[in-house]
Copies of this chain bind each other. A is one copy, B any other.
Amino acid sequence: MPAEASAPTGGGTQAQAGPGEAAAPGRRERVREATLREIKDNARRRLAAEGPSGVSLRAIARDMGMTAPGLYRYFSGLDDLLNAVRADLFHELSEAVAGAAAPLPTDDTDGRILASLRAFRSWALSHRAEFSLLFATPAPQDAPDQRVLEAGQEFAASFFSLFDRMLAEGRIPLPADDEIGPELRERLDAFAAKTGFTIDNASYGALRVLMSCWVRLYGLVSMEVAEHLTPIMGDMEPLFEAELQDILAPSGAACRASDQD
Contacts and interface: CB of A to CB of B under 8 A. Distances in A.
A235 B187 contact: yes
A234 B187 contact: yes
B228 A223 contact: no
B141 A137 contact: no
Interface in A132-159: 132, 135-141, 144, 149, 152-153, 156
Nearest to A246: B212
Most buried by B among A50, A184, A217, A246: A184
Interface stretch (A65-73, A97-105, A162-170, A189-197): A189-197
B215 A223 contact: yes
Interface of A: 49-54, 128-129, 131-132, 135-141, 144, 149, 152-153, 156, 180-181, 183-184, 186-188, 190-191, 194-195, 208, 211-212, 215-220, 222-223, 225-229, 231-239, 241-243, 246
